[in-house]
């Protein structure tokens, strides 16, 4: 009986955490992970897979093999530029780069590069570009979960296709916030079940 209580508590915690983490965003939201997993979440509840792959970055100082996500803007490309993430010590940890879009018969194609300086062996861990684009902004990395970046007018990544703009979640560090949330929910669920169920 004790085992079943623990299993129920864990399942309860996972379900509660999953519902919290799956909240529908109010803006079109891109998520990028260093391992190449990505997705685009739309406010209507649609989730579009957005996988990345290693390719050559033609931008200034770009590497021959860098993690790139391929976007297909509807009408206007995302604003070109670099978003530089600083760690707690003020060093550059990651760069999200929006390269120039190219046009073809099938429409616009635009590469978004994710550079990481973590040396963790993931796809993004290829180092940093040697030169920066002229349109560059610097933000602070979130040490306890994804760094949320919402570009303002003229900033890299701004979309004029969306009336409200868009947002980006950059997973450059372990998502410890979600882990702690699940652990806390599991403990709360276990305590609740232990209190409600009679001892055997």
What range does the domain containing 138 cover?
28-177
In tens, the pLDDT along 16-74 reads 444 444 566 788 999 999 999 999 999 999 999 999 999 999 999 999 999 999 999 98
Domain assignment present for residue 199? The answer is: no
Cβ contact 172:96 at 8 Å: no
Domain assignment present for residue 197? The answer is: no
Domain assignment present for residue 141? The answer is: yes
Domain assignment present for residue 92? The answer is: yes
Domain assignment present for residue 100? The answer is: yes
Alpha carbon distance 18, 111 (integer Å) = 30
Domain assignment present for residue 89? The answer is: yes
Q: What share of the chain in percent tops pLDDT 70?
A: 74
Q: What is the model's pLDDT at position 17?
A: 42
User: Residue 100 corresponds to which tokens in the numbers above?
Assistant: 């120039």
Overall number of domains in the chain:
1
Domain assignment present for residue 12? The answer is: no
In tens, the pLDDT along 107-134 reads 899 999 999 998 889 999 999 999 999 9
pTM of the complete model: 0.75
Domain assignment present for residue 18? The answer is: no
């Amino acid at each position: 009986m004790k085992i079943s209580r623990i299993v129920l508590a864990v399942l309860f915690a996972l379900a509660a955490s999953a519902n919290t983490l799956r909240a529908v965003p109010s803006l079109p939201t891109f998520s990028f992970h260093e391992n190449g997993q990505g997705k685009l979440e739309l406010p209507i509840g649609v989730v579009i897979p957005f996988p990345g792959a290693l390719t050559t970055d033609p931008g200034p100082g770009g590497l021959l093999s860098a993690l790139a996500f391929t976007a297909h803007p509807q009408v206007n490309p995302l604003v070109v530029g670099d978003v530089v993430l600083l760690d707690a010590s003020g060093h550059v940890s990651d760069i999200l780069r929006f390269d120039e879009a190219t046009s073809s018969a099938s429409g616009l194609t635009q590469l978004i590069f994710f550079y990481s300086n973590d040396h963790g062996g993931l796809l993004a861990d290829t180092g940093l570009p040697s030169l920066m684009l002229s349109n560059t902004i610097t933000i602070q990395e979130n040490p306890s979960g994804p760094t949320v970046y919402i570009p303002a007018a003229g900033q890299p990544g701004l979309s004029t296709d969306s009336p409200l703009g868009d947002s980006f979640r950059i997973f450059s560090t372990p998502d410890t916030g979600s882990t702690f949330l699940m652990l806390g929910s599991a403990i709360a669920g276990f305590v609740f079940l232990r209190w409600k169920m009679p001892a055997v």
